[in-house]
Structure 1
Amino acid sequence: MDKFKYFLKYLKYVFSRKKRAIYIGCLGNNNLGDDAVYTGIVNMVKSKLVLYDINYAKVSSGSFFRKIYFPEPDYIILGGGTIIRKGKNESYLRLLNLFLDKYPNAKLLSLGAGVANTEFAQKIGFPTDIPAWIEFLNKCFFISIRGPLSKNILKNEWKINQEVEILYDPAIFHNQTKEIKAKNKTIGINFCDIIGRIHGFNQEAVGVFAKSLTQKLLDEEWIIWLYPTTPNDINYMIKILGEDIVSKVNIYKNCLDLNKSIDFFNSIDLFVGMRLHAIVFSSLSSTPFFAIEYEQKTSDFLKSIDLEEYVIRTDSLDVDEVLKKIHDIYQNVDILQDSIYQKMLFAKKEQVTRVKELLSRL
């Protein structure tokens, strides 16, 4: 199946009359957030470019066809996700340099990437090779990143010579929706296992918090849905919540279908969750949310859309405080929904404008 999929991509890339680009980003992990970023970028540039993605999790995918005949790409794209981190001989930078060495005439583009907080990356064992990234980024034809925190790192800390644009998260390029909330106390929740690489480095505390919050919501007679962006989220939530609680909640299962996920967010009154792209999907549907931040990428996105007040970090979790936030959000659902809709509408227009400017230069 994997070979057939890459054969079709190979044919589209080889025979396209458009300019060609290799896409390097976080793909192949069965994660809807990664897929939404990629398809957002595909839709952004499809009028000018055909993309051939390199499977980060399995780089060898499609390599047989690439050895037969592979037209030189016009561009190499660094995609979205928090992927500006680690060293030149590992992860995404290794792949970027590998393909740049092979295709030295290709222009480099960064489209909505996130930059890892340098101090936090060091603490979780993913230290950033800053000189190597600066060298790469200063070669780029166009640099755009996800939000203001990422831009601050590149411009003020790393002193990148190139102009840096804020493109927002690429996933917001998907259609924005807004449906009137039923106000029947329906809430979606998401917790995930980041194996301790979180603010506070205490994954166990997240589990305790999640169980306590879910039980209190049940006591208040909320209709609860467990929402994942990857199948692993469901396994984790079932494990930490326990059989008794899980028997009293609903489980959303179409976690790899973006359109159905947006429909799901339209059906709930509000959302509380950890996964960044679950928060992005909630924003796309103008569904009020409260984010649980495990690393700075959540604030990077929230600041970009001017909604940074709706977040708590995993090293500051307080069940009563979050429950109060949920009550406040529910009481003001209509107002908050309109606010999110307008802020996302503005962000999308800004994103479209910047994409048009880029495409005019390709």
Structure 2
Amino acid sequence: MKFVISGFYGLGNTGDEAILEAIIYNLRDQLQNPDITVFSLSPEKTAKEHQVKSVYRGWKQQLKEKVQALKRADLLISGGGGLLQDTYPTRFLFGPLPYYLLIVFLAKLCGTKVMFFSQGIGPVNSTWGKILMKVFANMADFVTVRDQYSKDLLKELGVRRPEVVVTSDIVFAFQPRKDTACMDSLPPQNRDSLVAVSVRPWFDQVKQFEQIAKILDSLIEERGVTPVFVPMEGHHDAQASEKVLAHMKYSKHCHILGTDFSPNQYVNFIGECQLTIGMRLHALIFSTIKGVPHIGLSYDKKVESLLKRNGMWEFSAILEEMDVEELTENALHLLNERQQYSEIVSRNALELKQEALRNVELLKDRFL
């Protein structure tokens, strides 16, 4: 079977690269010799890393090659991840939302079936975004979404023609392979009592950097932990990490990992930590996979949805409603009772993995 995979690939976002790796692995695991082409901003790198064909994802180059790939394909897999949203400005034909929907439209013009695969939908707030969703998202042949919120939003937006099934993020079916590169990059004396920290820029909001700094300073004072920042999106997250460090009394007790580690290397590192405090969805998913208790700082419904499914919501907070004292107490509690909460997270991770595997099972049922 021939596939084209369209998503936020080749742009250095660890979560999205983990999504791609998980999709490819599970297609190969459950199907015989799938023929895979990925639309990527770094096609040569994507082709080499995953042993697939790859075409430049943007409109300015290789349009003919994109059309040819779609004509050859049996199925366009759109996703996974949060592709269909207008958090970032959506103009007539520019922005994530129109891009991914126009790829869907192009696939249908080529006679290719379309599956929205393990997607997180929204937010979609602009009038133009809502029109685009109602017109083009209804062209999909089948849809799986990673949470109930996404299914409800699709219905609210008037996307009712394709069947929609709630599964979970395909990264829960990621297969980690042992790799100690991240840990080896730290000084030997700073490899105990690790706390993974994942922060990101979020428009003009900066208050959270000072708040996270206070929480980390308290954990260093009371428990002697070593906070290690995990930059899930390269220099963007590294710069956000530096902003937290600028507010800390004990910044010399902290480290920022390099920005060029692979998803597999990051997930292995997070698995060695006692606790994760994070904004990035896939840093929290990595923590869930590895049974690491965590505090999520929800800047988006997708983060809240995950935390409610994996049992960590009661210890977490909406980003704009952070209470430093409460979150510090929650962090100390999770550290003190780590084994208990690790078991809870691990049990929920097994259920979420089974739901993630359903994405490929449903694909087989509908399209084979």
- Please give the TM-score of this superposition, normalised by the length of structure 1: 0.81
Q: 1:67 to 1:315 in 2, by over 3 A?
A: closer
Q: Is contact 2:315-2:327 (8 Å) kept? A: no
Q: Is contact 2:105-2:139 (8 Å) kept? A: no
What's 1:154 paired with? 154
Q: 1:257 to 1:61 in 2, by over 3 A?
A: farther
Task: Name the % identity.
Answer: 19
Work out whether 1:251 is the aligned partner of 2:259: no
Shift of the alpha carbon at 1:65?
8.1
What's 1:210 paired with? 212
1:307-322 matches, within 5 Å, as: 307-322=312-327
User: What is the DSSP-based 3-state SS (H/G/I as helix, E as strand, rest coil) of the residue aligned with 1:112?
Assistant: strand
> How many aligned residue pairs are there?
328
What's 1:238 paired with? 242
Q: 1:140 to 1:249 in 2, by over 3 A?
A: same
Shift of the alpha carbon at 1:223?
2.0
Q: 1:308 to 1:255 in 2, by over 3 A?
A: farther
Aligned partner of 2:36 among 51, 54, 60: 51
Q: 1:156 to 1:177 in 2, by over 3 A?
A: farther
User: What is the DSSP-based 3-state SS (H/G/I as helix, E as strand, rest coil) of the residue aligned with 1:234?
Assistant: helix
What's 1:114 paired with? 120
Shift of the alpha carbon at 1:61?
8.5
Q: Please list the CA deviations of residues 52-79 of structure 1 after superposition, one character each: whole Å capped at 9, or x if unmatched.
A: 2223686168728828965522222210
Shift of the alpha carbon at 1:141?
1.6
Shift of the alpha carbon at 1:218?
2.2
User: What is the DSSP-based 3-state SS (H/G/I as helix, E as strand, rest coil) of the residue aligned with 1:212?
Assistant: helix
Instruction: Please tell me the residue identity of whatever aligns with 2:142.
Output: F
Shift of the alpha carbon at 1:138?
2.2
Distance, in Å, in 2 between the alignment partners of 1:112 and 1:39 is 14
**268-277 or 258-267: bigger deviation:** 258-267
Aligned partner of 2:289 among 280, 284, 291: 284
Shift of the alpha carbon at 1:134?
2.4
Q: Is contact 2:84-2:100 (8 Å) kept? A: no
Distance, in Å, in 1 between the alignment partners of 2:120 and 2:270 is 25
Instruction: Please tell me the residue identity of whatever aligns with 1:22.
Output: V
Work out whether 1:63 is the aligned partner of 2:62: yes
What's 2:352 paired with? 347
Distance, in Å, in 2 between the alignment partners of 1:254 and 1:223 is 19
Aligned partner of 1:356 among 349, 356, 361: 361
| Alignment gaps of 5+ in structure 1 | 1-18, 197-202
Q: Is contact 1:207-1:240 (8 Å) kept? A: yes
Instruction: Please tell me the residue identity of whatever aligns with 2:111.
Output: N
Instruction: Please tell me the residue identity of whatever aligns with 2:194.
Output: T
Instruction: Please tell me the residue identity of whatever aligns with 2:221.
Output: D
Shift of the alpha carbon at 1:158?
3.3
Instruction: Please tell me the residue identity of whatever aligns with 1:115.
Output: I
Shift of the alpha carbon at 1:361?
3.0
**45-54 or 288-297: bigger deviation:** 45-54
Work out whether 1:20 is the aligned partner of 2:2: yes
User: What is the DSSP-based 3-state SS (H/G/I as helix, E as strand, rest coil) of the residue aligned with 2:120?
Assistant: strand
Shift of the alpha carbon at 1:323?
0.3
Distance, in Å, in 2 between the alignment partners of 1:142 and 1:68 is 21
Instruction: Please tell me the residue identity of whatever aligns with 2:105.
Output: L
Q: 1:164 to 1:305 in 2, by over 3 A?
A: farther
Shift of the alpha carbon at 1:128?
6.0
What's 2:232 paired with? 229
Q: Please list the CA deviations of residues 263-302 of structure 1 after superposition, one character each: whole Å capped at 9, or x if unmatched.
A: 2122111110111111011111111101011111101223
Shift of the alpha carbon at 1:25?
1.0
Distance, in Å, in 2 between the alignment partners of 1:354 and 1:68 is 26
Q: 1:330 to 1:128 in 2, by over 3 A?
A: farther
Q: Is contact 2:210-2:244 (8 Å) kept? A: yes
Over aligned residues, Cα RMSD in angstroms? 2.9
